[in-house]
Chain A
Amino acid sequence: MTEKKPVFEKARMVPYPSQAIIPERDLNKTPILECSHLGIDFGGLRAVDDFNLTIGRTEIAGLIGPNGAGKTTVFNLLTKVYQPTRGTILLDGMDTAGKTTAQINHMGIARTFQNIRLFSNMTVMENILVGLHSEMSYNALTSVLRLPAFFRSERIARQRAMELLSIFGMEDTAEAVAGSLPYGAQRRLEILRALATNPSLLLLDEPAAGMNPSETAELMENIVKIRDTFNIAVMLIEHDMNLVMGICEGICVLNFGQVIAKGTAEEIQSNPTVIEAYLGKQQ
């Protein structure tokens, strides 16, 4: 099977105020995410320190680094699963200090998890409907009384859920129990559940983990498709360098909780510090 490797069109990355770079097309809009001097300690361990990052409105950004570098911790800081010890996070220009995980989601960040976290006893459809929770507006009393608003809202939500499932061609698994899906399908479902919350920034933690090369190739296309359809920013953590170098416009490299390099795929691949700390170790 000699498939031609798809080439994804990337934006030219341009300097934004000072040290950061964002895609040229996002230059006139407030960046979706601006972290400055973000950090957290676990006991004596500086898991993340002085983390600065700016992501454009429609950028696909990559966060890479060896195992234990602090990548997942960054996601947990952004979504307030952990409260940062230091630093600020601006989401669409708004400070997220003091917000809870749920409020962060309402502000526009949705995520997936490195260790899949589905509602595994519920069906695929129900998982997405939970994602659509905030989009539906009827209350508990309306559902107990089965008022017309209940049926209307449920019908619309189920239609929307089917549309989302069609992104990955998963319509016929709608009634399967989520926990019984194959691994790759569970990862895709997690992405759809996150998308259902109507985010402006989608965080993907190792979305290609456990996928075979053809599934990964399909995933790459779909991530770009999702960005283009929903006009959102995507930030992903991934060990598959084909995926990262293939679709990520800005890439940030983390090692021992510190940012050791930032730049485009070309810049990162030729950065000696990165090669030594990260790519070098693997060979």
Chain B
Amino acid sequence: MKNLKKATKVDFATYLGVTVSFVIMYILQTGGHLSSSIAGQLVPICCFIVMAVSLNLVVGISGELSLGHAGFMSVGAFGGIIAAQSLAGAVPFAPLRLTIAIVVGALCAVIIGFVVGVPVLRLRGDYLAIVTLAFGQIIKDLINCLLVGYDSHGLHIMFNISGLKSINDLHLEETGKAIIKGAQGAVGITKISSFPAGFILVMLALVIVLNLIRSRSGRAIMAIRDNRIAAESVGLNITKYKLMAFVLSAAMAGAAGALYGLNYGSLVASRFDFNTSILVLVYVVLGGLGNIWGSIIATVVLYMLPEALRQFSNYRMLVYAIVLILVMLATNNDQLKALLRRIIPTRKEADAQ
């Protein structure tokens, strides 16, 4: 019971920290006190927090290495853009259209998550890393072949596998508009993402992941990570729980992708390449595997840092590396944690013993 309370306290602090940060930033933003470069990063940061929290579910909680998380973000982004752009007339109220787009993005990612996860997660052994790596690459190439437009007859979708077709081959009406133009990516997007929407998505992701972890299903997922054979011996269905973590994580990445995509006027698929997947993985590892608030802190610090370090010009990468190490020590290192605990004694630690 004590542990439950302690966990609940940590979760509560996480929710509170996120909410307070949001309120402060929102007040600054609406008051026009933020530089345009920082204001422009608020939505992407929310998206990447959701990405890191969801990847932590797979890598930290479920113990599987995924190298293609950006692929799900991509699926969600383009799925969400198609939904939002084609519903522009039918659903004029932007927040509702954004919500629909996010749901569509998440659903697209869920479908792809099953397609990738079902064959791989039934196998024993670390095949997920290599398959997700390939998936991230393939999805990018597939979207580069995609031609999508919308007119009064509805959606027109074409796969330009030969590379010879262009958006004109969709034969859109005069009033129709192109949504995705192959390698040029999505164009003419109406920007409907907002910082409050980002905050809500972050909170939703946190509620889902934290509540799942502290439940029967979450314990099963962690038990499988800790000892697969023992988990089977107590009757757990390994594939079911590995798939649950993986697909849920994909869904959240898809939702984050939709929010991200609708924050820009245009978007190319190469925005979600291998580097992006690795970047999110870095946030997760540095924030601490299985440590959800750690993922949030690492994402915020490391996402803002390159921007904040502009003034150091030549020393930028050096300072970046030092901060990376400090973040890692602060969130991951037991000795440093013990040291911090001695410097800042907390009641929480005292009654945990």
A120 B227 Cβ-Cβ under 8 A = yes
A81 B234 Cβ-Cβ under 8 A = no
Interface assignment of B38: CB less than 8 Å from any CB of chain A: no
Interface assignment of A209: CB less than 8 Å from any CB of chain B: no
Interface assignment of A118: CB less than 8 Å from any CB of chain B: yes
Q: Which of A62-117 contact B (CB under 8 A)?
A: 79, 81, 100-103, 105-106, 110-111, 113, 117
Compute how far the CA of A139 lies from the CA of B218 in the bound complex, rounded to whole angstroms. Answer: 11
A134 B215 Cβ-Cβ under 8 A = no
Compute how far the CA of A123 lies from the CA of B1 in the bound complex, rounded to whole angstroms. Answer: 11
Binary CB contact string for chain B from 270 to 307 against chain A (1 if under 8 A, 0 otherwise): 00000000000000000000000000000000000000
Contacts of A150 in B (CB 8 A): 215
Contact of A125 among B3, B215, B216, B220 (CB under 8 A): B3
Contacts of B212 in A (CB 8 A): 140, 143-144
Interface assignment of A196: CB less than 8 Å from any CB of chain B: yes
Interface assignment of B2: CB less than 8 Å from any CB of chain A: yes
Interface assignment of B222: CB less than 8 Å from any CB of chain A: yes
Contact of B219 among A111, A133, A196 (CB under 8 A): A133
Contact of A123 among B3, B207, B216, B229 (CB under 8 A): B3
Q: Which of B100-130 contact A (CB under 8 A)?
A: none
Q: Which of B216-252 contact A (CB under 8 A)?
A: 216-220, 222-223, 226-227, 229-238, 244
Contact of A144 among B207, B219, B223, B232 (CB under 8 A): B207
Binary CB contact string for chain A from 128 to 159 against chain B (1 if under 8 A, 0 otherwise): 01110110101110011110001001100010
Compute how far the CA of A232 lies from the CA of B238 in the bound complex, rounded to whole angstroms. Answer: 27
B232 A101 Cβ-Cβ under 8 A = yes
Compute how far the CA of A111 lies from the CA of B229 in the bound complex, rounded to whole angstroms. Answer: 11
A117 B230 Cβ-Cβ under 8 A = yes
A119 B226 Cβ-Cβ under 8 A = yes
Min C-beta distance of B39 to chain A, whole Å: 32
B216 A117 Cβ-Cβ under 8 A = no
Interface assignment of B211: CB less than 8 Å from any CB of chain A: yes
Binary CB contact string for chain B from 28 to 67 against chain A (1 if under 8 A, 0 otherwise): 0000000000000000000000000000000000000000
Evaluate whether A122 and B219 lie within 8 angstroms (CB atoms) in the complex, with A101-B232, A175-B2, A197-B235 already known: yes
Interface assignment of A193: CB less than 8 Å from any CB of chain B: yes
Compute how far the CA of A103 lies from the CA of B219 in the bound complex, rounded to whole angstroms. Answer: 19
Min C-beta distance of A207 to chain B, whole Å: 15
Contacts of B309 in A (CB 8 A): none
Q: Which of B337-353 contact A (CB under 8 A)?
A: 352
Evaluate whether A138 and B216 lie within 8 angstroms (CB atoms) in the complex, with A106-B235, A143-B211 already known: yes
Contact of B234 among A110, A123, A146 (CB under 8 A): A110
Contact of A118 among B2, B207, B230, B237 (CB under 8 A): B230
Interface assignment of B208: CB less than 8 Å from any CB of chain A: yes
Min C-beta distance of B308 to chain A, whole Å: 35
Contacts of B217 in A (CB 8 A): 139-140, 143
Contact of B238 among A102, A117, A196 (CB under 8 A): A102
A130 B211 Cβ-Cβ under 8 A = no
Give the interface SS of chain A, mostly helix, strand, loop or mixed: helix
Compute how far the CA of A121 lies from the CA of B222 in the bound complex, rounded to whole angstroms. Answer: 9
Contacts of B208 in A (CB 8 A): 144
Compute how far the CA of A126 lies from the CA of B222 in the bound complex, rounded to whole angstroms. Answer: 10
Evaluate whether A117 and B227 lie within 8 angstroms (CB atoms) in the complex, with A122-B222, A136-B216, A175-B3 already known: yes
Evaluate whether A122 and B234 lie within 8 angstroms (CB atoms) in the complex, with A136-B216, A140-B212, A143-B216 already known: no
A193 B215 Cβ-Cβ under 8 A = no
Which partner residue on chain A sits nearest B230 by CB separation?
A: A117
Contacts of B237 in A (CB 8 A): 102
Compute how far the CA of A169 lies from the CA of B352 in the bound complex, rounded to whole angstroms. Answer: 20
Contacts of B229 in A (CB 8 A): 81, 101, 113, 117
Compute how far the CA of A58 lies from the CA of B67 in the bound complex, rounded to whole angstroms. Answer: 51
Min C-beta distance of B339 to chain A, whole Å: 20
Contacts of A48 in B (CB 8 A): none
Contacts of A146 in B (CB 8 A): 211
B234 A129 Cβ-Cβ under 8 A = no
Compute how far the CA of A153 lies from the CA of B229 in the bound complex, rounded to whole angstroms. Answer: 26
B226 A102 Cβ-Cβ under 8 A = no
Which partner residue on chain A sits nearest B210 by CB separation?
A: A144
Which partner residue on chain A sits nearest B244 by CB separation?
A: A140
Contacts of B220 in A (CB 8 A): 130, 133
Compute how far the CA of A129 lies from the CA of B218 in the bound complex, rounded to whole angstroms. Answer: 11
A130 B2 Cβ-Cβ under 8 A = no
Evaluate whether A121 and B234 lie within 8 angstroms (CB atoms) in the complex, with A140-B215, A143-B215 already known: no
A102 B235 Cβ-Cβ under 8 A = yes
A134 B235 Cβ-Cβ under 8 A = yes
Min C-beta distance of A178 to chain B, whole Å: 9
Min C-beta distance of B110 to chain A, whole Å: 14
Contacts of B236 in A (CB 8 A): 102, 130, 133
Interface assignment of A194: CB less than 8 Å from any CB of chain B: yes
Q: List 17 A-B contacts (CB under 8 A).
A: A79-B233, A81-B232, A101-B233, A113-B230, A119-B226, A119-B227, A122-B222, A130-B219, A133-B236, A136-B216, A140-B215, A143-B217, A144-B207, A144-B211, A158-B1, A175-B2, A197-B234
The 5 closest A-B pairs by CB, nearest first: A143-B215, A105-B235, A117-B230, A119-B226, A101-B232
Known contacts A122-B226, A140-B244; can you find 7 more A-B pairs with CB under 8 A? A129-B219, A130-B219, A133-B216, A139-B217, A143-B211, A143-B215, A143-B218
Chain A residues near B (Cβ < 8 Å)? 79, 81, 100-103, 105-106, 110-111, 113, 117-123, 125-127, 129-131, 133-134, 136, 138-140, 143-146, 150, 153-154, 158, 174-175, 193-194, 196-197
